[in-house]
């Protein structure tokens, strides 16, 4: 039944691509595109908005029709408004799954919109010309259980989480053959006449600045905060004065509570076996104020 559905969907992709090219001027690389405006608020340590970033991206409707239609519906429903950037590193950031509660802890946002078939080559769907590169937008699904073999049972599990790629190196995690690349952040909309340096940047370069929040400094120590999705727990990581990596449970830095002995051994095993589920929490709150179609 799935193979039949994939075949029908492949025909739909090919047909709609032809229709889009002939009936719309808003076409790139053979696909109709839908422009989206996203506004993010970056808070400081005292809970005040320090920066507001407005960035634009385009969804490629014909390369991933099921996925883009799903995302557009979520945007129109206002689903992304109030969600937060829940994972950020040098190569990408993620948003659209979590929001902050009254105590500024991340909690999953209520979601009742179902899952979407994985629109990528390894799932039998051809014709998507987008690759994983700087500016690519990935429709995140559940990770495979290991990095050697892909798990087809995880292919059709995408819900709402979007990964925005900062570098081409993100392809090592989100290979376009096994993850749906459904859009691109604009890289040609820089405004050299803007009043401040951030607003002068292109949309993708604005987002790349958020990688600076992957860690923070406390008493000259570089601190990284993780959120372990499977258990809903926070952990902090730092290097001690001897250069040894230390971990402690909780999102507040407590160097006196560093894991040791059996606890540390068990944590290292847990971390190594579940690396993809340890989200790197930004050092400040980054909230999506709004996401809307242009």
Q: What is the greatest pairwise CA distance in the chain?
A: 66
Residue 146, pLDDT score: 53
On the question of pLDDT at 36 being above 50, the answer is: yes
Residue 9, pLDDT score: 47
Report the distance separating Cα 143 and Cα 223, nearest Å: 26
The answer to whether 274 touches 230, Cβ cutoff 8 Å, is yes
Report the distance separating Cα 37 and Cα 26, nearest Å: 16
Report the distance separating Cα 263 and Cα 94, nearest Å: 30
Residue 240, pLDDT score: 84
Q: Which of 51, 36, 45 is nearest to 182 (CA)?
A: 36
The tens digit of pLDDT for each residue in 60-96 reads 999 999 999 999 999 999 999 999 999 999 999 999 9
The tens digit of pLDDT for each residue in 172-227 reads 999 999 999 999 999 999 999 998 899 999 999 999 999 999 999 888 889 999 99
pLDDT band at 4 (very low <50, low <70, confident <90, very high): very low
Give the three-state DSSP class for 12: helix
The answer to whether 35 touches 293, Cβ cutoff 8 Å, is yes
Q: Which of 130, 128, 150 is nearest to 141 (CA)?
A: 150
The answer to whether 38 touches 20, Cβ cutoff 8 Å, is no
Half-sphere exposure of 173 (CA within 13 A, CB side): 25
pLDDT band at 145 (very low <50, low <70, confident <90, very high): low
The answer to whether 161 touches 174, Cβ cutoff 8 Å, is no
Provide the residue ranges of all domains of the chain, joining segments of one domain with +: 2-213+287-293, 214-279
Least confident of 166-170, 206-210, 253-257: 253-257
Output the CA–CA distances (angstroms, integers) from residue 261 to 227, 266, 275, 294, in the order listed: 22, 9, 21, 55
Q: What angle do CA 35, 36, 38 make, to 5 degrees?
A: 150
The tens digit of pLDDT for each residue in 97-135 reads 999 999 999 999 999 999 999 999 999 999 899 999 999
**Architecture field, domain 2-213+287-293:** Beta Barrel (2.40)
Helix 2-23 vs helix 65-76: crossing angle, to nearest 10: 70
């Amino acid at each position: 039944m799935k193979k039949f559905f994939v075949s029908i969907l492949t025909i739909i992709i090919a047909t709609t691509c032809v229709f889009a090219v002939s009936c719309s001027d808003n076409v790139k690389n053979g696909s109709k595109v839908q422009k989206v405006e996203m506004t993010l608020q970056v808070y400081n340590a005292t809970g005040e908005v320090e920066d507001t970033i407005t960035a634009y991206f385009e969804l490629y409707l014909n390369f991933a029709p099921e996925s883009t239609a799903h995302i557009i519906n979520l945007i129109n429903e206002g689903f992304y408004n109030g969600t937060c950037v829940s994972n950020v590193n040098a190569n990408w950031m993620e948003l659209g799954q979590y929001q902050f509660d009254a105590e500024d802890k991340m909690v999953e946002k209520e979601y009742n919109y179902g899952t979407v078939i994985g629109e990528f080559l390894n799932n039998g769907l051809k014709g998507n010309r987008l690759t994983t590169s700087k500016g690519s937008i990935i429709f995140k699904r559940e990770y495979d259980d290991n990095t050697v073999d892909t798990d087809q049972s995880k292919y059709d599990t995408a819900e709402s989480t979007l990964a925005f790629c900062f570098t081409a190196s993100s392809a090592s995690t989100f290979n376009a053959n096994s993850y749906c690349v459904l859009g691109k952040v604009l890289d040609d909309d820089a405004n050299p006449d803007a009043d401040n340096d951030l607003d002068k940047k292109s949309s993708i370069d604005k987002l790349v600045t958020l990688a600076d929040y992957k860690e923070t400094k406390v008493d000259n120590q570089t601190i990284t905060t993780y959120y372990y999705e499977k258990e809903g727990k926070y952990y902090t990581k730092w290097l001690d004065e001897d250069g040894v990596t230390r971990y402690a449970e909780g999102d507040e830095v407590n160097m006196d509570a560093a894991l040791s002995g059996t606890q540390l051994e068990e944590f290292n095993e847990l971390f190594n076996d579940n690396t993809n589920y340890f989200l790197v929490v930004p050092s400040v709150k980054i909230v999506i104020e709004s996401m809307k179609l242009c």
